[in-house]
């Protein structure tokens, strides 16, 4: 059957060629009629079924068909593409004439310059694939030898004829299902034999193609004139140059296009970046608006509610107080220079007609001290006082001792003309306003502080601050009697801005209260009033060249700003710190309330003194005043304290009463002729204050105290500590004729119920 298929392929080839040359349609008609009558028009019915099994080979041939047809047309145009001419030159195998339609088409498609064996590799591979597929076809006949295979592959019909015959057969009868050649090859031995057969076939075909190429080249050289060859070469070279130019032009176009594309991409990227930045900016703005707008609305709502509840704040400080942010105010306060090399002067007033033995220590007069401070003032003088009566007109009398007060008032009136700002904070209400009114006319600022409505007490402070560099604190009121008719003790500190600035903050509290119209205390004091010194953090300065630790205290606790030590705590700490002695000089000493409807026991200071005298065996000497306004109850308490010195307790405590002598004329002066001093000195510390020692002065009444500690400081020749100076003053008074030990007769003599100074 295989041999018949081979013969049928040859006869079919001849029949198709005859039909092409004659171009008649009669034979086709006869063939169709004979096929309808049951007569076979061709001898290849079985060959069509075998072609159906070779679908893979046919598909490869179809892919090669356009290329072969185009190259065949090129050969016809040159006049050298006749199939008959090629067949006359090809070698003959056996008795048959061999034709390679596909191969011949590929060979003649190239010019003479490009003819080579390498250019023929593609048709060889395609033909080889067709040849190698023969042994695996449908009938599985025995393998033929190499010569038969080669002869069969050379006598196979062209791909075009094979496809046409396949299409005709498919139209006349159904095709058999193709079988997958990969699934038919199952034996490894058969695969190895196929590989060997393919290699041999490739080698023989390459030799045959090389021979054909050589003969074809010789034939072309003989038949084609040299002029035609030269023209062809020129055309080829021109074509190459044209290709090069086209390539260059295309490269230039590509480069220009690439530049344009790069520029366009750059522009696009810039536009994208701009869009991105714009979008990001828009998003950022929207996010900021989303976050900030609600916050602003909340702040406005909260501020509106705050104004509804508390009213409009008068200043930033007032607002800070209302918002309880007063402590922040201290952060932006200007840092002023702080001088710590200070000159301290203890000062006193000795009533007229009272003299101490010669050689007794004495201090600078308060009149001289105040006058000196006013003369040194350059910018400001701030005074906190209980009242202001510097002229004797307050009592309707003319007393020569009032002259010093009048001179002092004239100095105060002249401050504004010198460019010095005078501020005075006094207790309200004032019973005598003549002096304050005259000072107001000269430009002084006067504020009355009605502390009774706020705390139930009075402004009993006696404090001066000059240029925030100098200060005074002591027992003397702004009264002409304090200069000549009352015994006073105070202290002046000059060129000591560290301490003066702290004193200025205490004055600021009174000045702030004087501006209040609703008579109320703020819930928190502004940071600008916070203490610069305290018992925990005293200032380190030098008083007359001797190092000292110093701080200011104030009363009552309601007026003590942040960090400020209250006055009672300062007194108790000085008592507890004493090791050897405690000397106290005060006008009133009363361990109970004094100006309240209900009497309350107040043993704070009294218990501290008893503990020091009885438990620690510290010498306690208490000097109180005896005058027409002394409280009878005070002397009973003093007797209970002095009795502790008796056996078996033998506590080291002693009490004396100091009385200032007076004439009949001096006795007519009200609130005069009394020891008004309020100080305490121990073996370690000095305390100088403005308050009497009873409950109301520390719980309701405004007062100030100065604590100086120079313990352990090196004292050079010609120097002395504040403690040493004040100790001598106390012992002078204690040992003088004006001081007497407390007895029952003295209690009866001094017991008078009059309002104290």
549 SS3 class: strand
Task: Give 436-441 contacts, CB < 8 A, sequence gap 24+.
Answer: 436/388, 438/409, 438/413, 439/388, 439/409, 439/412, 439/413
Beta strand extents in 277-326 (DSSP E only): none
Strands 739-741 and 653-658: antiparallel
- Cα–Cα distances (Å) from 751 to 622, 694, 747, in that order, read 18, 17, 6
Computed on alpha carbons and rounded to an integer, the radius of gyration of the chain in Å comes to 66
Of 571, 529, 379, give the one whose Cα is nearest residue 465.
379
Tell me the backbone φ, ψ of residue 151, rounded to 5 degrees.
-60, -40
Beta carbons of 468 and 500 less than 8 angstroms apart: yes
Contact 460, 691 (CB under 8 A): yes
Nearest residue to 560 via CA among 541, 534, 537: 534
User: What burial letters (b/e) apply to 55-74, b meaning 16+ CB within 10 Å?
Assistant: eebeebbeebeeebeebbee
Tokens of residue 193, six digits: 């034999």
Token representation of residue 502 = 């702290």
Name every residue whose Cβ is closer than 8 Å to that of residue 124 and which is 6 or more positions away in sequence: 202, 205, 206, 209
Enclosing H/E stretch for 739:
strand 739-741
Going by the DSSP 8-state scheme, the letter that residue 721 receives in this structure is -
User: CA–CA separation, 10 vs 617, rounded Å?
Assistant: 152
Rounded distance between C-alpha atoms, residue 697 and residue 595, angstroms: 10
Query: Which helix (DSSP H) or strand (DSSP E) does residue 343 occupy?
Result: strand 341-349
User: Residue 231: is it exposed, middle or buried by C-beta count within 10 angstroms (0-12/13-18/19+)?
Assistant: exposed
Q: Are 497 and 337 in contact (CB under 8 A)?
A: yes
Q: Residue 613 carries which DSSP code? A: I
- Dist. CA 677–CA 689, nearest whole Å: 8
| Alpha-carbon distances of 356 from 244, 474, 653, 714, rounded to whole Å | 134, 21, 25, 31
* Residues taking part in catalysis: 460, 462, 467, 676, 678, 683
Contact at 8 Å (CB) between 386 and 458? yes
């Amino acid at each position: 059957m295989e041999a018949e298929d081979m013969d049928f392929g040859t006869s079919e080839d001849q029949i198709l060629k005859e039909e092409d040359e004659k171009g008649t349609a009669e034979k086709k008609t006869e063939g169709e009629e004979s096929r309808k009558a049951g007569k076979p028009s061709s001898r290849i019915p079985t060959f069509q079924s075998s072609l159906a099994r070779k679908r893979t080979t046919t598909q490869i041939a179809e892919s090669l068909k356009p290329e072969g047809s185009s190259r065949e047309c090129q050969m016809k145009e040159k006049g050298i593409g006749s199939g008959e001419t090629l067949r006359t030159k090809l070698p003959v195998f056996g008795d048959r004439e061999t034709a390679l339609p596909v191969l011949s088409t590929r060979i003649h498609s190239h010019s003479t310059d490009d003819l080579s064996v390498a250019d023929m590799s593609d048709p060889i591979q395609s033909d080889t694939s067709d040849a190698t597929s023969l042994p695996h076809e449908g009938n599985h006949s025995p393998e033929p030898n190499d010569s038969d295979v080669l002869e069969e592959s050379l006598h196979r019909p062209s791909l075009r004829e094979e496809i046409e015959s396949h299409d005709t057969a498919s139209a006349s009868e159904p095709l058999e299902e193709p079988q997958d050649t990969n699934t038919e090859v199952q034996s490894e031995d058969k695969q190895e034999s196929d590989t060997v057969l393919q290699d041999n076939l490739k080698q023989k075909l390459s030799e045959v193609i090389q021979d054909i190429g050589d003969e074809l080249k010789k034939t072309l050289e003989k038949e084609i004139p040299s002029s035609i060859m030269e023209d062809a070469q020129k055309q080829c070279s021109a074509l190459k140059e044209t290709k090069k130019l086209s390539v260059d032009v295309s490269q230039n176009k590509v480069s220009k296009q690439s530049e344009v594309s790069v520029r366009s991409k750059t522009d696009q990227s810039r536009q994208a970046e701009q869009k991105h930045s714009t979008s990001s900016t828009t998003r950022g703005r929207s996010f900021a608006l989303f976050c900030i707008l609600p916050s602003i609305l909340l702040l406005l709502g909260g501020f509106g509610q705050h104004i509804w509840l508390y009213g409009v704040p008068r200043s930033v400080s007032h607002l800070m107080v209302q918002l309880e942010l007063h402590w922040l105010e201290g952060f932006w306060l200007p840092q002023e220079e702080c001088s710590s090399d200070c000159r301290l002067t203890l000062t006193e007033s000795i009533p007229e007609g009272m003299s101490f033995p010669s050689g007794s220590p004495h201090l600078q007069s308060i009149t001289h001290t105040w006058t000196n401070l006013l003369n040194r003032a350059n910018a400001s003088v701030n005074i906190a006082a209980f009242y202001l009566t510097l002229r004797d007109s307050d009592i309707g009398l003319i007393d020569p001792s009032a002259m010093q007060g009048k001179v002092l008032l004239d100095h105060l009136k002249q401050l504004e003309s010198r460019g010095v700002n005078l501020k005075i904070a006094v207790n309200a209400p004032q019973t005598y306003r003549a002096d304050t009114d005259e000072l107001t006319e000269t430009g002084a600022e006067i504020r009355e502080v009605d502390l009774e409505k706020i705390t139930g007490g009075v402004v009993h402070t006696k404090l001066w601050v000059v240029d925030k560099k100098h200060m005074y604190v002591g027992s003397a009121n702004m009264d002409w009697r304090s200069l000549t008719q009352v015994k006073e003790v105070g202290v002046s500190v000059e060129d000591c801005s560290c301490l003066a600035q702290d004193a200025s903050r205490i004055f600021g509290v009174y000045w702030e209260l004087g501006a209040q119209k609703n008579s109320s205390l703020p819930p928190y004091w502004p940071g600008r009033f916070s203490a610069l010194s305290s018992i925990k953090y005293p200032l380190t300065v030098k008083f007359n060249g001797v190092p000292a630790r110093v701080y200011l205290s104030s009363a009552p606790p309601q007026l003590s700003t942040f960090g400020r030590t209250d006055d009672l705590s300062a007194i108790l700490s000085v008592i507890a710190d004493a090791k050897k002695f405690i000397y106290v000089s005060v006008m009133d000493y009363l361990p109970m309330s004094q100006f309240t409807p209900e009497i309350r026991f107040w043993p704070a200071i009294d218990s501290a003194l008893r503990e020091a005298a009885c438990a620690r065996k510290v010498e306690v000497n208490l000097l109180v005043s005896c005058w027409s306004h002394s409280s009878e109850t005070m002397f009973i308490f003093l007797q209970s304290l002095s009795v502790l010195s008796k056996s078996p307790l033998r506590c080291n405590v002693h009490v004396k009463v100091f009385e200032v002598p007076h004439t009949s004329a001096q006795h007519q002066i009200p609130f005069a002729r009394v020891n008004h001093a309020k100080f305490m000195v121990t073996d370690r510390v000095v305390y100088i204050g403005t308050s009497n020692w009873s409950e109301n002065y520390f719980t309701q009444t405004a007062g100030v105290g100065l604590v100086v500690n120079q313990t352990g400081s090196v004292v050079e020749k010609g120097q002395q500590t504040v403690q040493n100076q004040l100790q001598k003053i106390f012992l002078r008074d204690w040992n003088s004729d004006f001081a007497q030990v407390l007895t029952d007769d003295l209690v009866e003599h001094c017991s008078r119920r009059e309002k104290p100074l």
